[in-house]
Amino acid sequence: MNPKLSVNVNKVATLRNARGGNNPDVIKVALDCELFGADGITVHPRPDERHIRYDDVRQLSRLVTTEFNIEGYPSESFLRLVEEVKPAQVTLVPDPPDVLTSNNGWNTRENFHQLKEVTARLKAGGMRVSLFLNPTPEMVEHAALCGADRIELYTEQYAVLYPQNPEQAIKPYAETAHVAIQAGLGINAGHDLDLHNLHYLRINLPGLLEVSIGHALICDALYYGLRDTVSMYKNCLLPDLMM
């Protein structure tokens, strides 16, 4: 099976919110991404609703027919939201409300009891739980012990190093993935993945099940159009690149 492509529509909501109103229509864009071949839709609501709003999440939960993935910090308001809409997957991210974007993975040892409690709560509601992690093998053991189903590898370091040295860029991710597989965890990846670095990640990261991509995909859609851009990213997830 090829890894799934989940399109993060936060940037579409950012553009909408810049002018008010409903242009572009976040819900329509998400549904069009599905129509054009995306395997899932990702959103990351934050308390200030500076991009995706809680009402967007509720609307999407009723209309998305592929896999719905909600990312966020496990505050009580976030947990109540996901328990209300029950997405297929909840990706827990350790970002405080004031950060611009997710920029670090969980320390699963230091936050073990919190993560174990939240994971159990979400799984009791029938949701798959993924933990956002740096490519650090020692964090994987506690991710498994707290009951998570998957990890999402934070790929900014990979994206930064890839143009200079792809082999060195992927090395810590492959090592972490091997440990995760042994621990029985599924593997997702996301952050700064694009048309240049995605295929190399796909063929060199063992066990990859899903990538979540927003910023680069929406930027590319300005030039290629949304339909063709989704298709291009899907092609990057094939065993042999077809561009």
Residue 241 counted as domain residue: no
Q: Nearest-CA neighbor of 146 among 123, 121, 125, 117?
A: 117
* pTM summary value: 0.95
Predicted confidence at residue 94, as pLDDT, reads 94
* Number of domains observed in the structure of the chain: 1
The CATH number of whichever domain residue 221 belongs to comes to 3.20.20.70
pLDDT at 102: 56
Q: Are 2 and 238 in contact (CB under 8 A)?
A: yes
In a domain, 243, yes or no: no
Q: What are the pLDDT tens digits along the chain (243 aa)? A: 899 999 999 999 999 999 999 999 999 999 999 999 999 999 999 988 889 999 999 999 999 999 999 999 999 999 999 999 999 999 999 986 665 555 689 999 999 999 999 999 999 999 999 999 999 999 999 999 999 999 999 999 999 999 999 999 999 999 999 999 999 999 999 999 999 999 999 999 999 999 999 999 999 999 999 999 999 999 999 998 765
Q: Is 51 a catalytic residue?
A: no
pLDDT, position 139: 97
CA distance 65 to 109: 36
Task: Look at residues 142, 75, 137 and name the one whose alpha carbon lies nearest to residue 108.
Answer: 142
Neighbours of 27 (CB within 10 A): 18
- The answer as to whether 45 is a domain residue is yes
Domain containing 22: what range? 4-236
Q: Which of 34, 51, 152, 191 is catalytic?
A: 191
Q: Residue 181 has what pLDDT?
A: 98
From 44, 51, 142, 199, active-site residue: 44
Closest CA to 229 of 192, 195, 190, 189: 195
Domain presence at residue 72: yes
What DSSP state is assigned to residue 2?
Answer: P
Coarse DSSP helix, strand, coil percentages of the chain, rounded to the nearest 5 percent: 45, 15, 35
Question: What is the number of helices (H) and of strands (E) in the chain?
Answer: 11, 8
Is 142 an active-site residue?
Answer: no
**Catalytic: which of 71, 142, 152, 199?**
71
- Let me know the angle formed at the C-alpha of 210 by 62 and 212, rounded to the nearest 5 degrees: 65
Kindly state whether residue 242 falls inside one of the protein's structural domains: no
